[in-house]
Amino acid sequence: MQTWRLDDARQTLVLCAQGGLPQVTYWGAALPQGEDLSVLHAANARDLSGGMLDVVPPLSLCPETTQSFPGQPGLRGCCADGTPLRPQFKLREVVQDGQELRVACTDEARGLTYTATLALDTQTHVLRLQARLDSAAPIQLDWFAAPVLPAPDHAAEMIDVSGRWCGEFQLNDLPWTPGSHLRESLVGRSDHAHFPGLILPCTGTSNTQGAAYALHYGWAGGHRMVAEELPDGRRQVQFGHASGSYAAPATQFETAPLYATFSDIGINGCATAFQRHLRDRIVTTPTPRPVHYNCWEAVYFNHDLPRLKDIATRAAELGAERFVLDDGWFGLRDDDTTSLGDWQVDSRKYPQGLGPLIDHVAGLGMSFGLWLEPEMINRDSALFRAHPDWVLGEADQATGRGQLVLDMARGDVQSYLYDSIAALLRAHPITYIKWDHNRVLPVADVAQTHGLYALLDRLRADFPQVEIESCASGGGRADWGMLERTGRIWLSDSNDALERLAIQHNAALFLPACVTGSHVGPRLCHTSGRMLDIGFRAWVAAQRHMGFEMDPRELTAHEAQVLRDVTTWWKANRDWMMMADILRLDSSDAAVIAEQQIAQDGSRFVVFAGRAATSAQIAPRPLRLTGLDPAARYTVTLRAPDSPQAQSRGQIALKTGPVTLSGAALMGQGITLPCSDPGTMAVLEAVRREEAP
């Protein structure tokens, strides 16, 4: 038996091998140095009983049918002649380099080499796992899992993520039951419906306490996730590209990175590990994050230069620092049936090009961003008329939002898009692209995603000053594969603050504030028909990377003042808030969605407690905080609402002035918020007191 271990201050992962593919036999709370890993392995081995094989087939990094593994194998495919691929790997070597393991296994008879990398980032606590398969002869793969991890025995439930347009990041608590739970995005993008993430809380775990595991597959192109309980009770989780993603036989296959983390401080420990890892290791977000203004919900396709200039002037006056010109500026794009692919400025709307608008925006002290949807094409476009063969999939396929997808694997398509976008970026001081993607793919196809990545990589290399936002009808591509190449996610097309509150609360399991766009929408929300107060809309946007998306001409003087005030507050706090940990609070009131953003040095925090509905009980329960030093004292001030609330008649402490309490009290018993209506936000600001010991 050979053993290896990866350690950080919080977790240990143990790998064991007996001549074949290694298996993870322990992943959880940090083990003492000196633990006998062979004994550990033996102590956790399953017993044998009647009706079982005479050995327990290993739950290896890539479970093999040739080992009589009783669950989903880690690899499925066939040789060129159609013979099913049933490899039997032998361990060649495992090389350990600090907290990184490189595993190499071969199946000489079949000409196959399996390699895997397991690397633990000891600062962020995030594991990065990736597998690769090399074959001497072309093979057709249907399924290839990233290194497979065991899931905890001591858990009754898993939490996966579903969603829809305007309703992203819905969490589902699902019971572990015998057999497999499959989540698969077959539509060529990570998609609203199947965000590639899984949370595995152990029994009794909440946001703020207990043991939990979290996994995320960093791939934009559609994935498959299997969480399976085997007949012997063991559990495994597999993530990989969606089945069928490999269109043709090939000799090399590589999974995307699977990110994983363990926490013994509740689900928040996983969330903050992911937030930090993404922010500090994967994305590059220029700071300070500028306040956005996006004109989509103000003008849609009706671009009119004087009107846009007026809107820009007002947006700047409200505090916007970047103006993003959304869909409708190119081709003959008067609605969504036409012109995708024709990335030339519409001279009917902009007779002198984009220059006059950009100059006006620059004169207001704002930078300029532009909307593009490069991977798409309308049949009604010059591009389609010239190159109907550039479309991915069948000629007579159904359109989505009137559009089709370009075949991004083609060199000529990539060149055309690069040249079109580069021409715009060279001609104008554009520092931002909102990169949209409003149609699912006809098939999941690895080459399509690699084509997209190549185009993004080339543009980023040649135009490093240009930041890119990933949008796909809102949050349809919010995965870390995209975020390796972009710096912001347009999390949802829902600017309904009530819905956004929940969407961004759940997305914080995977995404930090600095990449999560959140805009103040119109008074009457366009996607829900709901009317919401400006204070609530502004504070919900202030929880993340703030922006505005309403027509500023609709604002009353009072609304404009509230928006200016919250924006000023956000600017004063963004430097630490965009680097803060977002901790989801265990609210004892189902009607309150609350989070605490705490500075990395623990010196200050802000609590956002959004009232999403009317409570069952008549008065609010105290809200318990988290992540504080129990012995330290914190002075907590009610920042919002800053005016008397009709519903609140009592004399609770927060209403009469700042409250100073210990971390122990704030975490143990909590603090009472004023009564409030649904659609309001309580904001508490707090500083840790510097007190002599």
Residues 291, 319 contacting (CB under 8 angstroms) = yes
Contact call for residues 490 and 544 (beta carbons, < 8 A): no
Nearer to ligand DGJ, 225 or 433 (CB): 433
Burial class (CB in 10 A: 0-12, 13-18, 19+), 196: buried
Phi, psi at 502, each rounded to 5°: -75, -40
- In whole angstroms, the minimum distance from the beta carbon of 167 to ligand DGJ comes to 13
- Complex with ligand DGJ: residue 474 or 487, whichever CB lies closer: 474
Cβ 446 to ligand DGJ, closest distance in Å?
25
Asked if 601 is an active-site residue, the reply is no
47 catalytic residue (yes or no):
no
Asked if 340 contacts 347 with a C-beta cutoff of 8 angstroms, the reply is no
In this structure, are residues 118 and 6 in contact, taking their beta carbons and an 8 Å threshold?
yes
Nearest to 625, CA basis, from 687, 688, 583: 583
Q: How far is the CB of 192 from ligand DGJ (least distance, A)?
A: 11
Looking at residue 313, the DSSP 8-state letter turns out to be: H
Q: Are 570 and 542 in contact (CB under 8 A)?
A: yes
- β-bridge partners, 174: 158
Could you say whether residue 323 binds ligand DGJ (CB under 6 A)? no
Cβ neighbours for 483, distance < 8 A, ≥ 6 positions apart: 218, 278, 282, 283, 470, 489, 515
Beta bridge partners of 229: 179, 235
Between CA 79 and CA 86 the distance in angstroms is 10
The sign of the CA dihedral 670, 674, 679, 684 is negative
Can residue 72 be called a binding residue for ligand DGJ (CB under 6 A)? no
468 binds ligand DGJ (CB under 6 A): no
**String of b and e for 479-518 (b: at least 16 CB within 10 Å)?**
bbbbbbbbbbbbbbbbbbbbbbbbbbbbbbbbbbbbbbbb
The site that binds ligand DGJ (CB under 6 A) totals a number of residues, namely 11
As measured in angstroms, the least distance from the Cβ of 489 to ligand DGJ is 11
Which of 160, 228, 346, 436 is the binder for ligand DGJ (CB under 6 A)? 436
Determine, following the binding rule CB under 6 A, whether residue 327 of this chain makes contact with ligand DGJ.
yes
Binding flags for ligand DGJ, 362-401, as an x/- string (CB under 6 A):
---------x------------------------------
Residue 438 in the binding site for ligand DGJ (CB under 6 A)? yes
**Residue 478 touching ligand DGJ (CB under 6 A):** no
Nearer to ligand DGJ, 144 or 293 (CB): 293
Print the binding letters for residues 487-516 with ligand DGJ: x by CB under 6 A, - otherwise. ---x--x-----------------------
| Residue 30 or 332 having the CB closest to ligand DGJ | 332
Residue 575 · residue 559 · CB < 8 Å: no
Interaction of residue 474 with ligand DGJ, rule CB under 6 A: yes
The active-site residue out of 327, 407, 493, 496 is: 493
C-beta closer to ligand DGJ: residue 21 or 478: 478
Q: Does residue 473 interact with ligand DGJ by CB under 6 A? A: yes
Integer angstrom CA distances of residue 47 from 56, 78, 234, 551: 8, 34, 12, 67
The three-point CA angle 513-515-517 to 5° equals: 85
Q: Determine the interface stretch with ligand DGJ among 43-51, 284-292, 471-479, 529-537 (rule: CB under 6 A).
A: 471-479
Residue 683: closest CA among 585, 583, 562, 594: 594
512-551 residues in contact with ligand DGJ (CB under 6 A) are: none
Choose one: 68-76, 342-350, 412-420, 466-474; the region binding ligand DGJ (CB under 6 A).
466-474
Catalytic one among 8, 191, 407, 436?
Answer: 436
- CA angle at 341 for the pair 338 and 346, rounded to the nearest 5°: 65
Q: From residue 279 to residue 308, what is the string marking binding to ligand DGJ with x (rule CB under 6 A)?
A: -----------------x------------
- The distance of Cα 456 from the centroid of its chain, to the nearest Å, equals 18
For ligand DGJ, give the closer residue by CB, 436 or 589: 436
Q: Report in angstroms how near the CB of residue 476 gets to ligand DGJ at its nearest.
A: 8
The interface region with ligand DGJ, picked from 44-52, 212-220, 250-258, 468-476 by CB under 6 A, is: 468-476
Find the shortest distance in angstroms from Cβ 255 to ligand DGJ. 29
Question: Residue numbers of the site for ligand DGJ (CB under 6 A)?
Answer: 296, 326-327, 371, 436, 438, 471, 473-474, 490, 493
Residues acting as catalytic residues: 436, 493
